[in-house]
A and B are shown apart, each in its own frame.
Chain A
Amino acid sequence: MEEAYRLEKIQGKNLVHAVAANKETIELFIFSGLSAATKLSGEKFKNIYHFDAKAETIDYLESAFPELVSKTVELQLGMFATNTQRLTPLMPTKVCSPWSVSSLVAH
């Protein structure tokens, strides 16, 4: 997961650099981000890499290219409902085999 985090930050920086290279013509840069989980949790949760990588991209833009701040908006989208269709264990999981259905106790 650390490697994915590293790659996502590189991709984020590349995006910021692409925007900076075209800052004269770009009207609005909308970046799909997420909140800074490690920072906002007081470092209680330090493994939510897909949140932090995006938040740190915005941090990078603010520090390296302050002239882009007024042209940039971060859009934080809610959780994808489709995750519950594909992503174990978010999707409903079968908890017993067919030959033990009679032993199922509903919670």
Chain B
Amino acid sequence: MPNPIDMPVPFIDPNRDPAIFVKALSSQTLPAPTSQGKVRKYAGYANYTTHREWVDFLNKRFPHEVYFEETSLQDWADKVPIPGVGLELGEMWKYVEEVGYFGGDKGGTRIITEVRTAKTQMGLATDIVTVEVRGGAYKDRRLGQESGLVDSRRIEQILCYLGYSELQLEYEVMAAKGP
């Protein structure tokens, strides 16, 4: 890749996550545009993941060794067989590194997935389960799911799986808050 191995990249599961963000935006009153004549911009992601984390993830699941190699933009672009696509995507990766996927500080984009609720810990003898809720995103270490977005029903399903019948868990999608 044409980036350092620890560069964070915002990812989503496109088969599931967009609907959650759309629901968040459409189910509540949004603040009026703050800049005259400018559309409000929001950003949604499930998790920031680095190339290193991807490699670690793949090595746990693939029988063959997967490794990361940092290359120049041009070398990376030359590996893409479709003319023009390599340069476009290569520049995109450098843009993510140098400016930011969502346009950085000058992009005027509000992030709608942030840590909204503090960790909720449930003790069960020596077994501690931690669920982090990120304005609709969650990380459930016990299930081994490294990123994802949930609604309250999904949280209930997870807890049912873990053997919990009740949980008071604050959960809120924060579409109306700035970064």
- Chain A residues with CB under 8 Å of chain B are 1, 28, 30-33, 35-37, 40-41, 44-51, 58, 61-62, 66, 69-70, 72-82, 84, 88-90, 92-94, 104, 106-107
Contacts and interface: CB of A to CB of B under 8 A. Distances in A.
Given A58-B39, A78-B10, A82-B14, A48 B91 contact: yes
Contact of B109 (A37, A76, A93, A104): A76
Interface in B67-89: 67-69, 76, 79-81, 84-85, 87-89
B87 A76 contact: no
B39 to A, nearest CB: 5
16 contacts: A35-B102, A45-B91, A45-B92, A48-B95, A50-B88, A70-B33, A74-B40, A75-B43, A76-B42, A77-B14, A77-B18, A77-B21, A79-B10, A88-B80, A89-B80, A106-B67
A81 B11 contact: yes
Contacts, number: 146
Interface of B: 9-15, 17-18, 21-22, 25-26, 30, 32-33, 37-46, 54, 58, 62, 64-69, 76, 79-81, 84-85, 87-89, 91-92, 94-95, 98-104, 106-107, 109
Given A48-B91, A77-B43, 17 more contacts: A1-B84, A1-B85, A1-B88, A35-B99, A35-B109, A44-B98, A47-B91, A58-B39, A72-B39, A73-B40, A75-B22, A78-B43, A81-B11, A81-B12, A81-B14, A88-B79, A88-B80
Contacts of B25: 28, 30, 73, 75
A92 B40 contact: no
B76 A77 contact: no
Contacts of B64: 94
Contacts of B69: 107
Contacts of B26: 28, 30
